Each structure stands twice: as structure tokens, then as C-alpha cells.
Amino acid sequence: MKLFKSLSVAAMAIALVASSISSVGAASSLKGKIVINGSSALLPLTLQAANEFKKLNPKVKISASAAGSITGPQSVRKGIADIGAVDWDASTDVPGFKKFDGQVANKVAVIPFAAVANKNVGVSNLTTKQLQDIFSGKVTNWKDVGGSDASIIVVNRAFGSGTRVNFQMKALAGSEFLSKGSNYKEVKSSGDMKTAIETTPNAIGYIDLVYVTSNMKALQINGVAPSEANVINGTYKVWGFGYFMTKGKPEGAVKAFIEYIQSVKFQNGSLKKLKFIPISAIK
């Protein structure tokens, strides 16, 4: 670990020197410190962008960390962070969370979500109505939605999860979740959701599209399969923007950093590699 660290430090130093030599004329005079906190789903994207941005602007210091989505706009309000990463537009009201006044939402990525079920589930397509009935506890047996006779195990993310907010708004059209029952459980993270769906027969849940594996079944919603192509062509509706919240309009180094993430080069390069969808792809 130590060796790896020092190696990567050395590599970065070399890269820095190289970039400063090669671009002496173009070297940016941008200075400043950017603190980013918030959604863990957006963290890989933020880190990647921060690394690239620091190479271009060696005088800008960026520190990024993640907890829950809601901590992003909160840290911005408290002045702890300059950028709050969040999976929903925190400048408007969403189910369960009030809007944050005076904050500006800057779109940085498109995050698709999928309804997923255990491999043993025979159903492969659900309508919005059926999803609402299942997640509100009205339908409790797979046979009522065209499957075999077995109880439906509903796996939900805990209240406050950005994935939960998005799924509720986009896939369930805002309808409420059930919160009790002997066939209902909540999990802490996308990783736990993945394990729960993979190992629990008759389970249904939802997850970021990038987490969908071949050991689970991604369900079609209203006959449309969850895929990047279907998000881009507009037929698959269950996706959300990832946002960087700032206090007022972004300025200086923060503005440059957000513009860098939104740039065509980053959106079509690193962002795609991390399996997000460029914001420009959405019409």
C-alpha cells in the first residue's frame, strides 16, 4: 500500500512536472481550494474530475469526500463545503426533503436506475401501476403480476438515500413506500442492495444501473428495458441528474471545476468510462 502510494505520488509529480513544462505558456493562474462533500454515488466521478483538473490547474487544491446525498447541500449551507454533490435537485422540494434556499443546482451527469429482481423471479416486465402496488405493499404475491405463486420480498433503501428519492419520483410517480411487514427490509447502500437481491429468492429492489450484474434480473418498466441507449433515446424514464450544489452562482475555481466536468471532453471521455451518461445526450 505504501509502495503503491509513493509510486502514485511519484507518478503524479512527474505528470505535474511534465504538464507544467509542456504548457508553460498555457499554465493556468487559477488558485484556490475546493471542498466537495455529499453523494457517494457521484464520488468516483468527482475524484476522476479532480485528478484531471488538478493537472491542468496545479495551484487549485481539491478535497472530496462522501457520506449521504443530503450531507452535500447541508455542508454547502453550513459553509463546510464549496460543492455539495447530490442525486436530486436540492434547490427544489423532493419527497421527504425541503429545498435549500439560495443554492444553485449544476447538472454534472445522468444516472440511470433499474428495478431489479432475484434471478428466480419469472416476471420480466412491470408497469408503473404494478411497481406502485408492489412497493406500497398492496400486491404481495408474484402471481398477481404474472409470476409464480410466491410472496414478494421488497428490499428498500433507507430513507434519505438519493437512489430512493429518484426511484420514488421517476419509477413510482411519487407514490409512497410501505414501511413495515415481515417481507420487507431496508439496506444501507447500493452494495448491500446488490447482495440482498442476488441472494434472496423472490426479492425485488432497485439500484443504479452500473451496479446491475448478471446475477440479478433487471426488470423492464412499461415494456422498456433499462439501458443506456433507452435513456438517451428517451423511452426509459427512470433516471436522474447528478447535481453539484453551490451557494449562489459558482465563482472562480469552483466555477472552472464545474465547467470542466460539464465540458464535452470530460463528459464524453472519463465520465462515460465511469458508466454515467453525458448530460448533453439527454434531449
Partner 1 sequence: MQLDTSAPNPVISTNSSELGGSIKTGSGKLFDRKNRLLFYNRAFKIACIASAAFVCLILFSILFFMFRTGVLTFRDVSPMTFFFSSDWSPENESYGAFIFIFGTFALTILTLLISVPLSIVIAVFLAEVAPGWMRNFLRPILDLLVGIPSVVYGFLGLTILIPLLRDITGTNMGDGILAAAIVLTIMVLPTISRISDDAISVVPKKYRDASYALGATRFQTIFKVTIPAARSGIMYGVILGMARAIGETMAVVMVIGNTPQLADALFKPTSVLTSNIVMQIANVPFDSTWNNALYMMGFLLLVISLLMIVLVRLLQRKGAHQ
Binding site for partner 1 (CB under 8 A): 67-71, 74, 78, 96-97, 151, 153, 158-161, 179-188, 192, 195, 199-202
Spell out the residues 6+ positions from residue 138 whose beta carbon is closer than 8 angstroms to its own.
Answer: 132
Nearest CB to partner 1, comparing residues 102 and 201:
201
Closest C-alpha to 72, from 41, 115, 117: 41
HSE-up (13 A, CA, CB side) for residue 136: 14
Q: Which is nearer to partner 1, 129 or 185 (CB)?
A: 185
The bridge status of strand 203-208 relative to strand 103-118 is antiparallel
Extract the C-alpha cell encoding 88: 436530486
Residue 182: CB minimum distance to partner 1, A: 5
User: Minimum distance from CB of 150 to partner 1 (Å)?
Assistant: 8
CB of 37 to partner 1, least distance (A): 11
Three-state secondary structure along 81-108? CCEEEECCCCCCCECCECCCCCEEEEEE
CB 71 → partner 1: shortest distance, Å? 7
Give me the residue label for grid cell 443506456.
Answer: 228
167 membership: H or E segment, kind and range = helix 162-170
Q: Which whole-number Å values give the CA distances from 34 to 45, 49, 170, 252, in the listed order?
A: 15, 12, 32, 10
In the complex, minimum distance from the CB of residue 231 to partner 1, in angstroms, rounded to a whole number: 26
Residue 76 beta carbon to partner 1: minimum distance, rounded to whole angstroms: 12
Element (H, E) at 247: strand 239-247
Decide whether 146 or 201 has the Cβ nearer to partner 1: 201
Nearer Cβ to partner 1, position 69 or 132? Answer: 69
Nearer to partner 1, 67 or 104 (CB): 67
Q: Smaller CB distance to partner 1: residue 75 or 132?
A: 75
CA atoms of 101 and 88, how far apart (whole Å): 15
